[in-house]
Structure 1
Amino acid sequence: MSLDHIFRNARIAGNEGHLVDIGIRAGRFAAIGVGLEADAPSEDLGGRLVVPGFVETHIHLDKSCLLGRCVCEKGTLEEAIGAVAAAKKAFTVEDVYARGKRTLEKAILQGTQRMRTHVEVDPRIGLTSIHALKQLKKDYAWAIDLKLCVFPQEGLLDDPGCEDVMVAALEAGADVVGGAPYMDKDSHGQIAHVFALAQRFGVDIDFHLDFGLDPSHLDLLEVCRLAEETGWSGRVAIGHVTKLSAVPHDRLVELAKRLAGAGVAVTALPATDLFLIGREYDHNVPRGVALAHVLMAHGVTCSLSTNNVLNPFTPFGDCSLVRISNLYANVAQVGTPAGMATCLDMVTSSSARLLNLADYGIREGVPADMVVLDCTTRAEAVSELAPPLFGLKAGRRTFTRPAAHLHVPALESVA
């Protein structure tokens, strides 16, 4: 057997009970099995867990790293939107590129290899951020697949000229179209316009949706209706959906079945939603995080994601999806090994399904994209915040983070 490299004694996520060897040839997985025989350099992974790269389904590269430019005291969604809208006036292609690069490199070093970033466009910012992130996408294609989702953060129908800019962005090569229906007085009107744009350009849809704690009005029902009516089932995702945290369990199950039937996926964003939701409470503050693992149990494709990094929406973030899955597990009180494994799935395999990635996974014939974690199971990765040690993209090593070494005095003196 002709191979370029072999990684021995690996535990592949989802089948971590078995040790296998992973053989790579010409940038693809060429052989997976026990005791591969080939005249090729090899590396012993010592039973560590291998995942096919982390998948970030919902992040905002264009407005990351804005701390210091925005003054926020209330910590509300409205304040964050206003602060970023003001800061956005000074955005340039160079500025967006530099901040996006800083965040993207953090994500790569944390093992993220696929990413969908939301990009704000409107009559004031125009295509500035699109131009910057298209260049970033090209420059970092060696390490990460980046997809751009354009959306109107400050409203679509109530912001004259915004739809023209959205069209221009899609014509310029944006990959996905999004929306924030709660920013328009006619939320259903915005949803309909976004679906029309998706059909016109043949792209997937990703909404910011149902943000808040009052579940008496749920735009997700209209999204489900249109997904079925337009034939876009399986091509629509909704993010945040914090209102789902405020419904009784029976109602949540009912809504989960509706979402699953309509082929509408859900992304929970625990870091941002914990920071923004429930500011009006001074005790018994609600968590405001959609229970994605419950939705998943009823057939909904779900992901966990970062959303914002170092800005008024979320003044934290190291771009670690392992940390996001651990945060979610804590908030959602998921403590069983199977439950924690599901949390890791929501930043890997389930996230890949949300993005409709056909070439994702560790199997023969697909690109050799993989990340090695310093643990042996998915549950350990989540419970112990296992660090990524190194990653490969199409068979080429993209980052290395050496495992920590304890310098024991007696041992060091002997050495």
Structure 2
Amino acid sequence: MMIPDGGRWGLANAAVPSVLLDAPDGPVAGPDGMTVCDLVVDAGRIAAIASPGTVAGDLPIVDRERRQVWPGLVDLHTHLDKGHILPRCPNPTNDFDGALAAVPVDRESRWTADDISRRMDFALRCAHAHGTVAIRTHLDTAQDDPARSWRALAPVREAWAGRIDLQPSALVPIGFYAEQDYARRIADLVAENHGVLGAVTYPGPDNDALLDRVFTLAAERGLAVDMHVDESLDPTVAELDRVLDAIERTGYAGPVTLGHLCSLSTRPEAEAARSIARMADLGVAAVSLPMCNEFLQARAPGRSPRLRGVAPILDMAGHGVAVAVASDNTRDPFHAYGDLDLLEVFRSAVRLGHLDLPVGAWPAAVACTPADVMGIAAGRIAVGRPADLILFSARRWDELLARPQSDRVVVRAGRRLDAVPPDFAELDDLG
């Protein structure tokens, strides 16, 4: 496909997911959740959105023939500092406990600044080639050197500025907030790096006070909060309710994102519905990690899984909760696979979460919804926005979901991106 090399040009008869098109006075959305339109690109930005077949004149035109065009995508939950350590740090059981045991050994012995930054850069080149424009990454912050991953991220973040917007979040087990000076140190580190304050919750007698401390520290510094919550299929695990209680007790009014929420799928229906309704009332966003949670949860030696391990996405959306889906871990003990390809994540979420009746609203979960949660202008096609686009060969939803779409064309700032995912052999010397 010939994409003009900059300047002013047009995409005719582009099928854009209606939920990702910001053109209130533009073309009418179709019943399938797609809007067919013409797009004009000028100086790297969207200059016009028009009815199909109306862009003509002396413009170079690429006729999409009703094939899909998406904006650049947004990955709300990743772990760039863990990525691609699997060859040297296997998980012998491929379950959650095995991952928890494997990573600290590798972290304390192998995570130099060069090691982390090289693996991060490799992962970002994968995401970039697939069409991602923004990523929130959780960074291991509770170890012998809490700032280790943050120091490694700083030059990577600078090098990738303008290509992928990176938003770091502190990954801290909730118990580490018990020591007040340490907790303040972590919150200050996050604030200095324009990041997000995070915590990993698990059942404990002192959690109410610890959660209050997290939200108080965040409020004092004007930080958003992102927590790993209830990454378990045990129906008695319900730390979500304690998190919501803490939001109410402290009066915290900033953005809150809660990831995983697997046990919501196994808790009694009425109980889970009450928790989800409270999330909606408090404006708490959710991010489901379908590929990683399907991989880790419900594992038992010699037995096929009985449960999917995925949060109740449809239920949360039905209550009005903003729901994103994201990559989570890639090629590490928590998830042996993945390539930071959000289309792969989207396809997995639709299939595992039954998001196909209809599917039309769900592209938002990898685009505008996570962008809104991150507080950035991305994930939509709109006049004046950068012409960061992904051109798929698919026309219908079933065509998009049937194949990996490895022939996609990524356009950044109005120019075709000449990038492919890097060769894994580049990391061989890291062990």
Could you state the TM-score of these two structures normalised by the residue count of structure 2?
0.84
Instruction: Name the residue aligned to 1:408.
Output: none
Q: 5+ unaligned residues in a row in structure 1: which ranges? A: 402-415
The residue correspondences of 1:210-359 to structure 2 (distance < 5 A) are 210-230=230-250, 232-233=252-253, 235-280=255-300, 282=303, 285-336=306-357, 338=358, 340-359=359-378
2:106 is the counterpart of 1:79: no
Q: Is this contact kept in 2: 1:11–1:18, CA < 8 A?
A: yes
Q: Which amino acid aligns with 2:325?
A: L
Matches of 1:374 and 1:288 in 2, distance apart? 32
Matches of 2:57 and 2:84 in 1, distance apart? 47
Instruction: Name the residue aligned to 2:87.
Output: 68
Task: State the Cα deviation string for residues 121-180 of structure 1 (Å, max 9, x = none).
Answer: 134133221122222222122321111111215842367974254134224314211110
Q: Is this contact kept in 2: 1:274–1:287, CA < 8 A?
A: yes
How far off its partner does 1:252 sit?
Answer: 3.3
Instruction: Name the residue aligned to 2:423.
Output: none
Greater mean alpha carbon deviation, residues 177-186 or residues 104-113: 177-186
Task: State the Cα deviation string for residues 336-379 of structure 1 (Å, max 9, x = none).
Answer: 3x1x3344332123323332334541111223222222212455
Q: Is this contact kept in 2: 1:210–1:219, CA < 8 A?
A: yes
Considering Cα pairs closer than 8 Å and 6+ residues apart, tell me whether 1 or 2 has the greater RCO: 2
Instruction: Name the residue aligned to 1:24.
Output: 41
Task: State the Cα deviation string for residues 312-344 of structure 1 (Å, max 9, x = none).
Answer: 0001112222222222233234443x1x33443
Task: State the Cα deviation string for residues 252-302 of structure 1 (Å, max 9, x = none).
Answer: 333221111111111111122112212358466222211212211220100
Instruction: Name the residue aligned to 1:108.
Output: 128
Three-state SS of the structure 2 residue aligned to 1:211 is: coil
Matches of 1:214 and 1:71 in 2, distance apart? 25
2:78 is the counterpart of 1:59: yes
Q: Is this contact kept in 1: 2:74–2:378, CA < 8 A?
A: no
Matches of 1:194 and 1:42 in 2, distance apart? 53
Matches of 2:242 and 2:107 in 1, distance apart? 31
Q: Is this contact kept in 1: 2:83–2:123, CA < 8 A?
A: yes
How far off its partner does 1:96 sit?
Answer: 0.6
Kindly report the root-mean-square deviation, in angstroms, between the aligned alpha carbons of the 2 structures: 2.6
2:200 is the counterpart of 1:180: yes
Matches of 2:181 and 2:334 in 1, distance apart? 26
Instruction: Name the residue aligned to 1:9.
Output: 13
Matches of 2:160 and 2:127 in 1, distance apart? 12
Q: Is this contact kept in 2: 1:127–1:165, CA < 8 A?
A: no
Q: Is this contact kept in 2: 1:157–1:189, CA < 8 A?
A: no
Q: 5+ unaligned residues in a row in structure 2: which ranges? A: 1-6, 19-28, 421-431
Instruction: Name the residue aligned to 1:120.
Output: 140
Greater mean alpha carbon deviation, residues 326-335 or residues 23-32: 326-335
2:227 is the counterpart of 1:207: yes
Among the aligned pairs, what percent are the same residue? 27
How far off its partner does 1:69 sit?
Answer: 2.1
Three-state SS of the structure 2 residue aligned to 1:386 is: coil
Task: State the Cα deviation string for residues 227-276 of structure 1 (Å, max 9, x = none).
Answer: 34555456101001111110244443332211111111111111221122
Could you state the TM-score of these two structures normalised by the residue count of structure 1?
0.87
Give the direction of change, closer, same or farther, for the CA distance of 1:183–1:230 in structure 2 (3 Å limit): closer
Q: Is this contact kept in 2: 1:122–1:165, CA < 8 A?
A: no
The residue correspondences of 1:118-157 to structure 2 (distance < 5 A) are 118-153=138-173, 155-157=175-177
Instruction: Name the residue aligned to 1:413.
Output: none
Three-state SS of the structure 1 residue aligned to 2:408 is: strand
Three-state SS of the structure 2 residue aligned to 1:303 is: strand
Three-state SS of the structure 2 residue aligned to 1:114 is: strand
Matches of 1:270 and 1:361 in 2, distance apart? 23
Greater mean alpha carbon deviation, residues 52-61 or residues 389-398: 389-398
How many residue pairs align between the two structures? 397
Three-state SS of the structure 2 residue aligned to 1:78 is: helix
Give the direction of change, closer, same or farther, for the CA distance of 1:269–1:137 in structure 2 (3 Å limit): same
How far off its partner does 1:188 sit?
Answer: 2.8
Give the direction of change, closer, same or farther, for the CA distance of 1:110–1:283 in structure 2 (3 Å limit): closer
Q: Is this contact kept in 2: 1:56–1:114, CA < 8 A?
A: yes
Greater mean alpha carbon deviation, residues 324-333 or residues 388-397: 388-397
2:369 is the counterpart of 1:365: no
Q: Which amino acid aligns with 1:289?
A: V
